[in-house]
Every structure is written in structure tokens, then in C-alpha cells.
Amino acid sequence: MKKRILITTESLVSGGVETSLLSLIEELKKEDVLIDLYVLNKGDLSEQFEAITDVNIIPIKRSKNSLVNRVLKNIKCKSLLKKYAINDTLYDVAIAYYGINNYSDMYAAFTKAKKKIIWVHCNFKSLYEISNYKPLIKIRNKFLNHKFSYFDLIVSVSESAKEGFLGIFPEYKDKIDVVNNLIPLKKIENESNDIDVDMSGNNNLIYIGRLEKIKSVDVLINEFKLIKDVINDAKLYIVGDGSEKDNLISLTKNLNLDKDVFFLGFQSNPFKYLRHSAVCITASKSESFGQTIIESLAMQKYFVSAYNEGAKEIFYVINKSDLNNGIICSPNNIHDHVIYYLKNKEMLIPNFNAQEFNEKVVKNIKRILEID
């Protein structure tokens, strides 16, 4: 008999969580399962999700009152959520995949299932430590705390995210496990060969991600200025959008880099730009799992990252400290390592085995979902 799985998430827009969910569902569809995917909002990845055979994409019911929706998204309100309970279907597994949106997560919590699992994609402790609004984060965490009691298993995407989670919610130490995100190899293969890219030169640097303060893209631009002083033909391509975009464009102009730094905006296919880049760089203050780093490694691209827990895990555990693949460093030393790599590319050839990595992740997925 087919195993029946329910998955809830916030949206199907292009992002790390959504891309990893797409890879997870593609892998699950290789097994004898039926999947109902409940979403709050569709997005640019909807067609790719819909293309996966036999996955039912169902909009999550919600109140017509916008204030009620806002409350449900940010706090656990059992009586209101039960009003919008899904249905009477009994699932083998219910998965709250987003992990921080209470509205979608509690849909999984209140459905009928033999086993309930919630994913954790962020490092709660790290986010708290770097926040300028610690009292508000502390209040939010109190609301989130009880939500996790409704689940049989908490899945963290990395060992460092697990440690960060337990640093805030130590009472759940006996029901947390670690399963890394899958690398979207099929998506990378299909999209990286798109020839509609204007990126000449051999010393292209790329940043892929949100343009928010926590990502420290301003640090990358300042570091690029120092790189440009040594590697004259270096270019920096910034893929992504966010609230800091205007400030970053102004910084670029002030540093007289507007002819060498290119803001490409949001791109549903960042892999075609990554393919024409020499180095993937990031200065993010907090990452639970360096998804962009692992994707660049899968494309045999070198990475230079500021030290954060997600990058550290890839470097020391997944990447086994192989300097052929990349380096982690202090934010102000990014330029040194990029310059060194660009001058010694012929000696530092990435050799990461993405297929082997995914095989290990699939084993873990089958274990927690109890798929033979």
C-alpha cells in the first residue's frame, strides 16, 4: 500500500527552502508514495512542482480576516487553527517543512497522521545573538516553543543548526535529528547550460542570495574593491533582491565600481550565472546550511565565505577541509583568499562529489520517513 505523505510550506517562490523541498519531493516520488502539498502562496516554482507526477498542490485555507492571518502566521493559536483544520484523511507522515511560519506549520500539526515531523532551516541561537531586537526575538521564540511539542520529530538541516536550536529550546534534545538539504542536481543540470548569459572574462565573482543586512553584501563590495586593485579584470555579479539593494548600489557608485559590479536582481535560474563564474563568495553573518556554497561545489566552483556556522559545517565536515574546494575566513580577509585563488586556479581544482553527498542524504530521509 502506498505511503501517504502530507507536506505543508509557506510558498513556492525561488529560495533555498523551496529549492530543497523541490529536491526532496523529486526524491520521494521515486518511491511508492502519494504526496499532498499544502501551500499558503504559490510562486515562480509552482510549475516545476506541478510537473512532478501525482503531487497534489492544495492551497491552505485561511481566514478572510487579514489580522487573523497575521496573528496565525506569527503565534500559535490552537483554537483558531483548528477551525481551519485540513480534513479527515489519515496520513502516514505529516511534514511541516517551512518550520517558522506557524500558519503553515500548524496545519501539519493538526492533521491526522501516524508520525508528525517539522523541519528547522535556521540557526535560532545565531539569529538571536546577531539580532538588534533581542527582546522581540525572545518573545517570538516563546510563542514558537510550544509548537514543537506537537511533533514527533524535529529535523535540523545541519549539526550547527541543531546546536543552535537546542541552545534556545533544550527541552527537545531527545527528539531532534539532522538531515542535510539535498543538492538539486537535476535542476542544476537542466538550467546551468542556458547560453543566454553575457559574462565574459575568467575572473568573475558571484554572490547569490538576499540583499539584506544579515547577508553583509556591503562587506563583499568593499572586499571586491581590494580585489579589483590587484586583479584588474575581476567582475562581481550580484544575484538577488532585497531591502538593501538601493544602499548597495549607492555604495558601488561611491567606490567607483559601477562598471564592474552588476546587480542582476532576482533570478529563478542562478545556475547559468554560476557556471560562468570563477568563485562564489558570501559574507553572511548567519547560515544554518550553506545551500549556495554546496550548489557551487556541485558545479565544481571554488567558494570563499566569511565564517558562519553553516559555512563552517560544509568546510570542516562535508568538505573535509579540502582547500581545493574553498575556504572560510574573517569577513575582512575575503579579498586575500579570492586573490590567492584567482592567481593559483590551476593548482586548486574543486573535486567535491555531489552525487555521493546526495546518496547519504537520501539514506537519512528514508530512515526518518520509514521508507524501505
Nearest to 366 by CA among 188, 182, 186: 182
Contact 60, 81 (CB under 8 A): no
Per-residue cell: 194: 542556458
pLDDT, mean over the chain: 88
Which sequence spans correspond to the domains of the chain?
A: 3-179, 194-353
Q: Determine the average pLDDT of the residues in 147-155.
A: 93
The number of CA neighbours under 13 Å toward the Cβ of 290 is 32
Report the CATH number of the 194-353 domain.
3.40.50.2000
- The answer to whether domain 3-179 and domain 194-353 are alike in fold is yes
Residue 110: CB atoms within 10 Å: 17
pLDDT digits (tens, 9 = 90+) for 115-132: 999 999 988 887 777 777
Least confident of 286-295, 301-310, 357-366: 286-295
Type of residue found at 278: A
Q: Is the pLDDT of residue 74 over 70?
A: no
Res. 181 pLDDT band, cuts 50 70 90: very high
Strands (E), the chain: 3-11, 33-41, 55-59, 90-96, 112-120, 153-156, 176-178, 204-208, 235-239, 261-265, 279-282, 302-306, 326-329
Give the architecture (CATH level 2) of 3-179: 3-Layer(aba) Sandwich (3.40)
pLDDT digits (tens, 9 = 90+) for 36-47: 999 988 887 888
Q: Determine the average pLDDT of the residues in 153-159.
A: 94
Name residues whose C-beta falls within 8 Å of residue 263's C-beta, 6 or more positions apart in sequence: 238, 245, 248, 249, 252
pLDDT score for 80 = 47
- The rounded distance, in Å, linking the Cα atoms of 179 and 95 is 14
pLDDT score for 83 = 54
pLDDT score for 310 = 86
Q: Is the pLDDT of residue 221 over 70?
A: yes
Type of residue found at 93: V
pLDDT score for 365 = 96
pLDDT digits (tens, 9 = 90+) for 293-350: 999 999 999 999 999 888 888 888 777 777 899 999 999 999 999 999 999 999 999 9
Residues written for the chain: 372
Q: Is the pLDDT of residue 64 over 90?
A: no
Nearest to 238 by CA among 265, 213, 257: 265
Q: Determine the average pLDDT of the residues in 234-245.
A: 95
Q: Determine the average pLDDT of the residues in 39-63.
A: 80
153 strand-pairing partners: 117
199-224 as b/e: b if 16+ CB within 10 A: eeeebbbbbbbbbeebbbbbbbbbbb
Report which DSSP code applies to 2.
P
Residue whose entry in the numeric block shows the C-alpha cell 497534489: 56
**87, burial (CB in 10 Å: exposed 0-12, middle 13-18, buried 19+):** exposed
136's enclosing H/E stretch is helix 134-147
Higher-confidence position of 320 and 366: 366
Percent of the chain beyond pLDDT 90?
57
Q: Determine the average pLDDT of the residues in 1-16.
A: 87
Chain center to CA of 198: 27
- The rounded distance, in Å, linking the Cα atoms of 177 and 165 is 11
Name residues whose C-beta falls within 8 Å of residue 15's C-beta, 6 or more positions apart in sequence: none
Q: Is the pLDDT of residue 87 over 70?
A: no
Contact 163, 184 (CB under 8 A): no
- The rounded distance, in Å, linking the Cα atoms of 310 and 280 is 15
